[in-house]
């Protein structure tokens, strides 16, 4: 018979992490372990207040599903048994890990995905003053792909400072819903002027209609506006790409379906993450072969990580070790 274990964990950030909505000093995660007596499957999720989810709520939902999980709940049944998407993610990933260990094979093979290979991840520069972001860019200028957190007054100067100090790095931007329709085109033009390749969620998810008629010299990626398959239709005409995060989709299983559906609609695919450990990055990395942009740098922003961790050689991210997941 299965046994379910649930653990609340806190992983300090190396320094601080700031976006347009506020700052964090730690990654507050929930780890799920499902064992059959001989094998253990693990999953990690990050309940996110922006989506109306909290750690206590997710733990309560998982406890509420304990009987069903321990009785043999299948991955295909998770959505009907658990409401919060973060909780679904932890369960889904733990069941994939358990199935792989039971079968003696890798998750990518069970899921009929391409074999994972090393891939370059974006490295995030936390939102700060223009001067501070310029200094951070100088320290990270050796990295091939930088992600700038923007969304407050002074973003034009932030862009200029980062480009000046990291002249050869590719740049992407995440405004985290911090811009408004009246400055949208000016900000997209400023991004284009310094060679930004992608802008995530410039407008609030409930006020993004202005994207439909706007000049978009830089491709725009839906993040807070995009969750599962049911949100794809609403993106048409407004977005050029979609950021797929397992905590939004509710696990690896729906994320695979979403990535394939986005490809069919000619949307670029970005694989993203919340601030979390290597255990959360491991299943997301299996989607890297389906993606145009990989943003799985969560562990690089923490003061410590799990053992064994995913290996990062600068910004080159390696497939997760089997002892971690998958």
**Active-site residues: which are they?**
149, 245
Taking the C-alpha atoms of residue 281 and residue 227, their distance in angstroms, rounded to an integer, is 18
> Crossing angle for the helix pair 252-264 and 85-103, nearest 10 degrees?
100
37: phi > 0 → left, psi -120 to 50 → alpha, else beta; which?
Answer: left
SS3 content of the chain, % helix, strand, coil (to 5): 40, 25, 40
Taking the C-alpha atoms of residue 78 and residue 45, their distance in angstroms, rounded to an integer, is 15
Taking the C-alpha atoms of residue 233 and residue 244, their distance in angstroms, rounded to an integer, is 15
Q: Say how many C-beta atoms besides its own lie within 10 A of residue 324's C-beta.
A: 20
């Amino acid at each position: 018979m299965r046994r379910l274990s649930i653990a609340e964990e806190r992983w300090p950030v190396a320094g601080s992490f700031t976006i347009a909505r506020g700052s964090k000093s730690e990654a507050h995660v929930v780890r799920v372990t499902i064992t059959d007596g001989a094998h253990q499957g693990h999953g990690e999720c990050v309940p996110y207040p922006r989506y109306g989810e909290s750690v206590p709520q997710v733990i309560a939902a998982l406890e509420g599903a304990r009987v069903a999980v321990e009785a043999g709940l299948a991955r295909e049944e998770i959505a009907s048994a658990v409401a919060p998407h973060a909780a679904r993610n932890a369960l889904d990933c733990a069941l994939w890990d358990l199935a792989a260990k039971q079968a003696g094979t890798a998750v990518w093979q069970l899921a009929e995905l391409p074999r994972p290979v090393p891939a370059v991840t974006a490295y995030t520069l936390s939102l700060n003053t223009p001067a501070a972001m310029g200094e951070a860019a100088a320290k990270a200028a050796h990295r091939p792909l930088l992600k700038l957190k923007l969304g407050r007054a002074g973003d034009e100067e932030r862009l200029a400072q980062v480009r000046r100090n990291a002249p050869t790095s590719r740049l992407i931007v995440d405004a985290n819903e911090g811009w408004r329709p009246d400055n949208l085109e000016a900000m997209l033009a400023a991004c284009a002027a310094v060679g930004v390749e992608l802008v995530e969620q410039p407008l609030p998810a409930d006020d993004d209609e202005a994207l439909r008629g706007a000049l978009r010299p830089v491709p725009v990626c839906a993040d807070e506006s995009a969750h599962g398959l049911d949100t794809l239709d609403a993106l048409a005409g407004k977005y050029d790409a979609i950021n797929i995060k397992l905590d939004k989709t509710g696990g690896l299983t729906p994320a695979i379906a979403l990535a394939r559906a986005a490809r069919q609609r000619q949307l670029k695919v970005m694989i993203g993450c919340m601030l979390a450990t290597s255990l959360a990055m491991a299943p997301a990395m299996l989607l890297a072969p389906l993606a145009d942009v990989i943003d799985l740098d969560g562990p690089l922003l923490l003061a410590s990580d799990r053992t064994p961790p995913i290996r990062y050689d600068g910004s080159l991210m390696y497939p997760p070790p089997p002892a971690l997941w998958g």
